[in-house]
Structure 1
Amino acid sequence: MLSLWLAMLAFTLVGSVAPGPVCVVTVSSAARAGLLRAMPYVFGASFGYALLVLLLGLGLLGSLAQSPALLDVLAWVGAAYLLYLAWRIASAEPGLSGAAGVTIPGFWAGALAQWLNPKAWLFSLSGLGMFVSNQAQPLAIFCILSLVVCLFGVGCWAVLGHLLGGRLPGTRAMRVFNLLMALLLVLSVVLILLP
């Protein structure tokens, strides 16, 4: 049983720290508004992902997971949402890290980002296929590990963003940083949409 837990832990860690759209938004948010203000997004992304894993594991989203056409629609809707976030990042006021009045995505945006993130769906389905064999205990363990490790992994991206934001010398550097984060998010969307 310990070997199963360790394998789940390794899998969830790779999924949560691998660069992707949620990580890019997290870095950008923490760089612009500080670590504490970015945490609602981190919590939303983590709880949203754990809920996705749970509902897929219970089979409640089975028809979505089995329908290539629905997954394609999800990918395009997710891409549109992520491009909207990229535009928001690129056009954001270049306030320095921790500046008051800087608007960043919150809890619900983080949860929605996971549900519209094809990477989250692929990791969820892959993990469930590898570790959960229609038994309640492995599903519960996998969901709890997914939540805890996602909090850790996405939280690490928030810490990175906070550290980077604190080292940017001024508003011009922050604007360049915002544009770079927006371009990375657009690139991740392009990579998601490529077959």
Structure 2
Amino acid sequence: MLNFLEFLSYVFVSNISPGPNAIISMSNAGKYGLKKSIQFNLGVSAGVFMVLLLCSLFSWVIFDVFPAFQLIMVWVGAAYILWLAWNTIRSDPAVESKYNKEMSNLFLQGVVLQFINPNTILYGIAVFSSFILPQYQSPFILLLFCILLSLASFFCTACWTVFGVIFQRLIAKYTKIINAVLAALLVYCAVSLVIKTF
């Protein structure tokens, strides 16, 4: 039987912890406001659903057949997160209004981020291999878990977005300092991922 207390604790802590999804959600809220930022959150949720679906189907293969895949994804993900940090620190408030008019699809960014975010992939592998697959193998039940977990992801990233909206004026006033802090948090995420591989 699934231990729901441990399962829910792991799901909540994994989703609410500051990582790339949370930091970018908060940053987007400060730049674009709640309505446009929700597109990114919906994209994150859709991407998480797709990644979890793949993890539910292939987690045992990744561990048994391709153990090196986990290490490769950590390094690729860390490099991408460092790239996000670089773009965050270079963000120019004077260009933001122009960027808002030409803003790329935030929904698509949220989806794509999940496929190169090692946190999401490792989370999916861990939650299915540790909690779900030992108890349930029914495709319908696995699909329900994917939906539930993607909704949890949306709720937690939306919390970070609301935080960003509430402090939007403060973010606008201290953009450079806040961008430096957000970039530092992203660098911390990348470094901590790499350190775990040693």
- TM-score, normalised to structure 1, is 0.84
User: Aligned partners of 1:79 and 1:184: how far apart in 2?
Assistant: 12
For structure 1, which runs of at least 5 residues remain unmatched after alignment?
none
Return 99-108 or 23-32, whichever deviates more. Answer: 99-108
Identity %: 28
Aligned to 2:78: 79
Equivalent pairs counted in the alignment come to 190
> Aligned residue for 1:108?
108
Q: Contact 1:78/1:113 (CA < 8 Å) preserved in 2?
A: no
5+ residue gaps in structure 2?
none
Q: How does 1:24-173 map to 2 (within 5 A)?
A: 24-59=23-58, 63-66=61-64, 67-94=66-93, 101-102=99-100, 103=103, 106-129=106-129, 130-132=131-133, 133-168=136-171, 170=173, 173=174
Q: Could you tell me whether the CA contact under 8 Å between 1:94 and 1:178 is conserved in 2?
A: no
User: In the alignment, what sits opposite 1:174?
Assistant: 175
Q: Hey, what's the Cα distance between the residues in 2 that align with 1:178 and 1:105?
A: 21
CA gap 1:183/1:167 in 2 versus in 1, 3 angstroms: same
Measured in 2, the distance between the counterparts of 1:163 and 1:62 equals 42
Q: Which residue number in structure 2 is paired with residue 19 of structure 1?
A: 18
Structure with greater proportional helix content: 2
Q: Letter of the aligned partner of 2:159 in structure 1? A: C
Deviation per residue, 1:125-148 (Å, 9 max, x gap): 221121233222431221111111
CA contact under 8 A between 1:16 and 1:149: conserved in structure 2?
A: yes
Distance 2:105 2:90 in 1: 14
> Shift of residue 63 of structure 1?
4.0
* Matched residue type, 2:164: G
CA RMSD of aligned residues (A): 2.6
Seen in structure 2, the aligned counterparts of structure 1 residues 90 and 65 have a Cα distance that, compared at 3 Å, is farther
